[in-house]
Amino acid sequence: MSWFVLVLSGVLEAVWATALGRSDGLTRPVPTATFVVALVLSMGGLGYAMRTLPVGTSYAVWVGIGATLTVLVAMTTGAESFSVAKALLLTGLVGCIVGLKLVH
């Protein structure tokens, strides 16, 4: 259950990071509200997962998932350019996340 919550929390990290970028300095109400709700849920889930999973592994997986998805959303929406190098590096990051799960 902790791994499921950790992955979901990583997804929510991407939600709050994207919403923060779209909030225009926390001045737009809907993205700001999305940011706050996703942030609270993401941190709560991370805290829950850390009750049974190692802190370092939990944090690395959480950040890795959030960072990967945030970049993918930005590339999909055109806010960030796509490159083969970025795709390969993101693939490596995902591989490392899966590796952390496997060696746990």
Count CA atoms within 13 Å of residue 97 on its CB side.
22
Query: What are the domain boundaries of the chain?
Result: 2-103
d(CA 27, CA 40): 19
Buried b (16+ CB within 10 A) or exposed e, 73-92: bbbeeeeeeeeeeeeeebee
pLDDT digits (tens, 9 = 90+) for 13-68: 999 999 999 999 999 999 999 999 999 999 999 999 999 999 999 999 999 999 99
pLDDT-derived band of residue 101, with 50, 70 and 90 as boundaries?
confident
